[in-house]
Structure 1
Amino acid sequence: MSLIYIGLGGFLGAISRYLVSKYINSMFSLANIPYGTLFVNILGSFVLSFIMSLGINRLEIPKNFMLFFSTGFIGSFTTFSTFMYETIILNEESFNYYSFVYLITSIILGLFFALLGYSLGRIGS
């Protein structure tokens, strides 16, 4: 039964990533940085940390929901492999500056929003 929750979450997360990333990229169509991937990874860092922190510190979140949401939905919504690939492609296409900015921005903002989400999830505990 756990695999069904993970699979359903993964299905919805992958579709959401595609739609959100496509929308964000259309807003910055002339930019060299893949903003769609950057956005979904930062959002995913925040949301996963927030939900996990809530589950640890304040709420009893059912195991099946956590499997659906954390492993399934967020696991497929965020994408480390695409992030790495896009960094390499930017570098290969001689956008060395953009490659570096994308890499550093992703790491710093991802960590910042993960910490923010975790901290917000702990409020009141």
Structure 2
Amino acid sequence: MSVLKKIIAIAAFAILGGGLREALSLLVTWPQHFWITCLINIVGAFVLSLITTLLPARLPVSEAIITGMSVGLIGSFTTFSTFTFETLQSYQSGHSVLALLSIVVSIGLGLLAGLAGNLLSKHWLPEGEA
């Protein structure tokens, strides 16, 4: 895979992922912003598992597209830095229990969502391809 193709795919999908993230943030209005970030990161973990497990086995897509979708699309849709910033902001505002809950929910459900995406992908693959 050429480096240029990879960079172009990542950049193109990053535009889409960033746009989707902003659209979801505008559609879902919760008083605490970190719950939106939590939801986005959990959805991202699930979709990343589908992209990396199911997509290459089911469709004839190039490695550049898979990389673009996983790094560009999901990388710009999800964000660890926003999660960190919002959690610290909550803690510094005196909401330490809420900050801890955000950490536990984001990481715990993110891992479970990733596992669910992986298991679902394997369920949809023909035997021997999982």
TM more than 0.5: yes
Per the TM alignment, residue 33 of structure 1 is displaced from its structure 2 partner at its CA by: 5.6
Q: Identity of aligned pairs, percent?
A: 32
Q: Where does the alignment leave 5 or more consecutive residues of structure 2 unmatched?
A: none
Q: Equivalent residues in 2 for 1:31-50 (5 A)?
A: 32=32, 34-50=34-50
Match of 1:23 in 2: 27
Letter in 1 for 2:18: A
Aligned to 2:9: 5
Q: Who is 2:18 aligned against?
A: 14
Q: Name the CA distance, whole Å, in 1 between partners of 2:105 and 2:6.
A: 35
Following TM superposition, by how much is the alpha carbon of 1:68 offset from its aligned partner in structure 2, in angstroms? 2.0
CA separation in 1, counterparts of 2:55 and 2:92?
42
Shift of 1:36: 1.2
1:30-73 deviations in whole A, cap 9, x for unaligned?
xx3622101110000000011211146x3353212212211111
TM-score (norm 2): 0.84
CA contact (8 A) 1:53 1:121 kept: yes
- Is 1:118–2:118 an aligned residue pair? yes
Q: Partners of 2:55 and 2:97 in 1: how far apart?
A: 40
Contact 1:13 1:74 in 2 (8 A): yes
Deviations 1:74-122 (A, max 9, x none): 0110001110111110000001111011110001100000000011111
User: Which residue of structure 2 lines up, in the alignment, with residue 105 of structure 1?
Assistant: 105
Equivalent position amino acid for 2:120 in 1: L
The number of aligned residues is: 120
Q: What residue identity is the alignment partner of 2:109?
A: L
